[in-house]
Amino acid sequence: MTMHDPAPLTPFARRALLALALLVAGSLAVEYLLLLRATWTELGPVLGSVRYVSYFTILSNLAVLLVCVSALTGWPAFFARPAVRGAVTLYIALTGVIYALLLRDTWELEGILRLTDASLHYVVPAVSVLAWLASPGHGTLRWRLVVSWLAFPVVYLTWVLLRGARSGEYPYPFLDVAELGLSVVLFNALVLLGVFLASGGMLVAVDKVAARRLASARAPT
């Protein structure tokens, strides 16, 4: 086994990852079914599905689900890579932070939708970050990854703005060109990318500190 290979999961870690995967999958499924029911007459299943995957929350939680499945089954192997797991941790962590700071009072939610909303925006981000911190194999992340991790947010923002220009629909208020104007939205997008960049740097720094502490704990006294 090399330093880049994932360590075998303990029984506790396997159960915890399975529980997280089931939580994410269940929450995503409920959100999807509720959205389709609410938009069936207006949009139909195809456009309703497009709206569903236009939320960064949905995409980041799907990525967490793929990381869990990869850890449990070995497939897809791409999501077992330390750099990919680091990226997913960054995305899901910022999903929770940005929602808590900017979006939590945007919608009035009730019943099961309130529960799934809390799951996708609070529980899954918190558990995912803790799982990443507790996972073995720290010390493999490099500073250059911070820039490459911006690729997904850039693609996402581009997709949202292009789709919004065609449909007039934007998933988040701070990206609403019709309401704010293009210059303000582009400024907001740059600020968001700056937050991703700074947070990615913090994550790599934490990875290096965790690796040093692990090495120090294993060093003979």
Question: What pLDDT does 215 receive?
Answer: 74
Backbone angles phi, psi at 110, to 5 degrees: -140, 160
Buried b (16+ CB within 10 A) or exposed e, 190-205: eebeeebeebbeebbe
As a whole number of angstroms, the distance between CA 103 and CA 101 comes to 6
Q: What is the pLDDT of residue 7?
A: 62
Cis ω before 220 (30° cut-off from 0) = no
Say if residues 129 and 89 touch (Cβ distance below 8 Å): yes
Q: What is the pLDDT of residue 1?
A: 32
Q: What is the pLDDT of residue 4?
A: 43
Cβ-in-10-Å burial (0-12, 13-18, 19+) of 11 comes to exposed
pLDDT of residue 221: 55
| Cβ–Cβ under 8 Å, residues 77 and 70 | yes
Positive or negative, the CA dihedral 156, 157, 163, 164 is positive
Tell me how far apart the alpha carbons of residues 142 and 146 are, in angstroms, rounded to a whole number.
8
CA angle 26, 32, 33 (to 5 degrees): 90
pLDDT along the chain (221 residues), means of 10: 56 95 98 96 96 98 98 95 98 98 88 95 98 92 98 98 96 97 98 98 97 75 55
Q: Is the dihedral of CA 10, 15, 18, 19 positive or negative?
A: negative
Is the overall model pTM greater than 0.85, yes or no? Answer: yes
By the 8 A CB rule, do 97 and 76 touch? no
Q: What is the pLDDT of residue 137?
A: 85
